[in-house]
Structure 1
Amino acid sequence: MPRSPTLPPPVASARLPALDGLRGLAALAVAVGHGLLVVRENVVADWWGPSPFGLTTNAFSIAASHAVWLFFVLSGVVLTKLATRGPPGGFDYGRYTLSRLARLYLPVWAALAFVVITALLVRRTSSGFGAWADGHPTHLDPWALLNDATLLTGTSGALSPLWTLQWEVLFSLLLVLYLAVLRRVPALLSLPLLLASAALGGVLGNPTLLYLPMFGLGVVLALHWAALARILGALEAAARRRPGALTVATVLALADAGELALVGWQLSASGLPPPVRSVVETTGHLLASMLLIALAGLWPPVRRAFSSRPLEWLGLVSFSLYLVHEPVLLAVVRLSVPLSDAVCAAGLCLSTPETADEIVAGSALAALGPFGIVAMAIGAIALSLATATAFHRLVERPAHRFAQHLRMPETSAAIGGRDPRAGR
């Protein structure tokens, strides 16, 4: 039987593998962005000028620095779809809360232990690797790590990605409040209000006002997912009537998402007041995140691409990659110095007099040379992916199973929850 030329729109309760793929790409972008940051802080700025390579890397750095905003909007979508799945009133907030906190905290605690292990194996006392690498604590304070483990009152910087998980925990606890409010407000009103709140938070430097509305945008998307599916389904059907129109529409939609994500950067030399540029940048990045999520979840060509095997695997290990890539990168950066010295002692120096002026003055990585620094960053990302795979199997997957067990009706009844039949 021939395959259908179109994919049916996913229903509200269906799992969306493409969104996992999108999350995986975002996590990889964060990891690559940190690796690129190390390169940029040790290789002279001539590489980052108006050349196609420089423009591409600059654009990627801007997009990667805001990938966590995509995480926030995506969390709003995913948790809302979970909460609205099944019959009305079937969502058990108590079981959900236990499950969600276990899903977040158990991998975080293991990641903090991994930070301690890597810091003991590779001492962080040396410097000269650039502002990002040198900015991490050289000594790990046990009390600071204990505070990090709570995800409640700020983080020490020992594992910088944890700052985003503070907001994930807060949103997870406030999900019912988000649903109660945003279900009663029309999307044409709630979306502008949420965007305006986030933009105002960016101008004022208020993280609460900036980040919490991002989750609300995802909640609104999920609450109106079926209506959005009908709209995009009609557009796709119309595009398929004309040869090539679907491809053109897909390219234009992705190009629009890229333009929205970079519009603030493009206006950086326009002379606009900083508050105006901040509003444009915040709004553009959030609209780009919403558009990418809608395309990945509902537009067939993009959905197929983001549901591919490689991206499916990347989405599977995305949380692990997000947690472990930083200590791996910091360890590789510091280990590269004695390794490069040993290689150079063997007569295979990577740095040459011709490339000496391409290295930032005082860089501890000077012996690697510019291309050796790039190779080091690539190797660190590859090792991060391998480590994330092991971390997922040993930590995240068992934690996920335990979190699912906490949502089981029998578990809820055992701890004094609601009717064990509720939410099944």
Structure 2
Amino acid sequence: MTVYPHDDPVGAAAAAFSWLRYGNFGVAVFIVLSGYSLMIRPARQGGLGESYWSFIRRRFRRIVLPYWIALAVSLVLALTLLGTRTGTHWDAALPVTWPAFFAHLLVLQDVWYSASINHVFWSVALEWHIYFVFPVLLRVWSRVGRVGLTLGLLVLTTGISGVAGREGVHVPVLQYLDFLGLFAVGALSRTVDARFAMRASAGRTSSMAAFGLLLAAGILLIVLQNTTLAVVAVGLATAAALVAMENDRLVLLRRLLGSRPLVWLGTISFSLYLIHALVVQAVWQYALSPTGFRLEQPAGLALLLPSAGVLSVLAAWGFWFIGERPFLSRTHGQRVEAERSGLGGSDPVHSAPHD
């Protein structure tokens, strides 16, 4: 959460907004979408279609260069306008230290965890490091087999993450390892779609699995208080939903995700992720807090969500032109223009930067 203190919220605010603590669910959805999106081209071509380092160079241009621009903006604001502790989650980004700066500059903040400068950037480093594994995953798949290897990887990484995240252990790079397993599941879900698109049972089974996994995630979270397994269940539900939509199930969800407003929002979603924490903190620090709202008051948070949400989208739209568009491939630009003009297909995946 961005506005709650680091401890769990209390009082009426907790009753209304405590669900915002579970941001890892959103990361799980994104990681699965990323694996699915990156697998679209290899699934069609029967392989990566380029050299290992050519793939890494393209990912560097698409992900790291926009991230560095957002890092520079975050650094300036964390040292100036947003450099005061206000009791919100943004306090984790303060103070700015030299070790934290170099960790972020080298995109190593998931290895040597540091929330300094901007506390949401850890997942950018996580995604960047997963890219180094993706071509290797494709090669091993071709020799060992997809399903067994992916499920084994998911079990292994989830187990390691569960142990590394325990109190007193806390090894950041291992704590996030379950997302590697979910990335592989997302990539696998695209190959399942490619192989079984003509089987009606695939879509029906996948849609039922998606609902069942979401129910399981709720039980794991509420009854067992196991966030790691709940996050994995949400990721698996996302993969199942993707297969279902590609097999003409979950039609309403497919149409919703394919609507022009959400296509447009998906286009700028990486920019939105990079800069939203800055906007949320600025709205709280300079608009709501000075007028008397406090963290424990639901009214302040109720005002913050829509106001900061709208301003974050507008700011992300502007950042997209400066920090993302110059680094997009020509193919990606043509696809975006086609989608905006209504000529694009009904592909439900728009949020993972994969071109």
Cα deviation digits, residues 26-66 of structure 1 (max 9, x gap): xxxxxxxx35x5399797423544xxxx5xx555643x332
Distance 1:235 1:222 in 2: 13
Cα deviation digits, residues 188-237 of structure 1 (max 9, x gap): 42343133113212321133642322222123223332124233x4466x
1:154 paired with 2:112, answer: yes
> 2:12 pairs with 29, 35, 46, which one?
46
Distance 1:89 1:380 in 2: 40
State the partner residue of 1:145. Answer: 101
- Aligned-partner residue type, residue 379 of structure 1: S
- Aligned-partner residue type, residue 69 of structure 2: A
- Pairwise CA distance, 1:308: 0.7
RMSD between aligned alpha carbons? Answer: 3.4
- Pairwise CA distance, 1:133: 2.9
Once the two structures are overlaid, the 10-residue window that deviates more, 204-213 or 81-90, is: 81-90
The 3-state SS of whatever aligns with 2:144 is coil
**Does the 8 Å contact 1:133/1:330 carry over to 2?**
yes
**Does the 8 Å contact 1:201/1:209 carry over to 2?**
yes
**Does the 8 Å contact 2:220/2:230 carry over to 1?**
yes
Cα deviation digits, residues 260-315 of structure 1 (max 9, x gap): 3323113237xxxxxxx467435423322322332344435132221111210111
State the partner residue of 1:21. Answer: none
State the partner residue of 1:398. Answer: 326
- Aligned-partner residue type, residue 320 of structure 2: H
1:216 paired with 2:184, answer: yes
Distance 1:177 1:94 in 2: 12
**Does the 8 Å contact 1:72/1:168 carry over to 2?**
yes
When residues 389 and 219 of structure 1 are mapped into structure 2, their CA distance, relative to the original with a 3 A threshold, is same
**Does the 8 Å contact 1:306/1:312 carry over to 2?**
yes
- Aligned-partner residue type, residue 241 of structure 2: L
**Aligned pairs (5 A) from 1:7-22:** none
The 3-state SS of whatever aligns with 1:38 is coil
**Does the 8 Å contact 1:102/1:403 carry over to 2?**
no
When residues 194 and 321 of structure 1 are mapped into structure 2, their CA distance, relative to the original with a 3 A threshold, is same
When residues 115 and 180 of structure 1 are mapped into structure 2, their CA distance, relative to the original with a 3 A threshold, is same
- Aligned-partner residue type, residue 213 of structure 1: G
**Aligned pairs (5 A) from 1:13-412:** 34-35=1-2, 38=4, 44-49=10-15, 54=16, 57-58=17-18, 61-62=21-22, 64-86=23-45, 90-127=49-86, 129-130=87-88, 132-138=89-95, 140-142=96-98, 144-152=100-108, 153-157=111-115, 158-205=117-164, 206-207=174-175, 209-231=177-199, 233-234=200-201, 255-268=211-224, 277=226, 280-300=229-249, 301=251, 302-336=253-287, 339-340=290-291, 370-401=298-329
**Does the 8 Å contact 2:78/2:93 carry over to 1?**
no
- Pairwise CA distance, 1:118: 2.6
Larger RCO (CA under 8 A, 6+ residues apart): 1
- Aligned-partner residue type, residue 318 of structure 1: S
Distance 2:66 2:113 in 1: 16
Q: Which has the larger radius of gyration?
A: 1
**Does the 8 Å contact 1:214/1:286 carry over to 2?**
yes
When residues 235 and 295 of structure 1 are mapped into structure 2, their CA distance, relative to the original with a 3 A threshold, is closer
When residues 65 and 278 of structure 1 are mapped into structure 2, their CA distance, relative to the original with a 3 A threshold, is closer
Q: Which runs of 5+ in 1 are unaligned?
A: 1-33, 240-248, 270-276, 342-350, 352-362, 406-424
The 3-state SS of whatever aligns with 2:62 is helix
Q: Which runs of 5+ in 2 are unaligned?
A: 165-173, 334-355
- Pairwise CA distance, 1:390: 0.6
Cα deviation digits, residues 129-148 of structure 1 (max 9, x gap): 24x2322213x235532430
The 3-state SS of whatever aligns with 1:160 is coil
Distance 2:60 2:257 in 1: 28
Distance 1:43 1:160 in 2: 19
When residues 323 and 120 of structure 1 are mapped into structure 2, their CA distance, relative to the original with a 3 A threshold, is same
When residues 135 and 280 of structure 1 are mapped into structure 2, their CA distance, relative to the original with a 3 A threshold, is closer
**Does the 8 Å contact 1:73/1:290 carry over to 2?**
yes
State the partner residue of 2:349. Answer: none
When residues 374 and 208 of structure 1 are mapped into structure 2, their CA distance, relative to the original with a 3 A threshold, is closer
Distance 2:281 2:187 in 1: 36
Equivalenced residue count is: 319
When residues 312 and 118 of structure 1 are mapped into structure 2, their CA distance, relative to the original with a 3 A threshold, is same
When residues 136 and 89 of structure 1 are mapped into structure 2, their CA distance, relative to the original with a 3 A threshold, is closer
State the partner residue of 2:343. Answer: none
- Pairwise CA distance, 1:115: 0.8
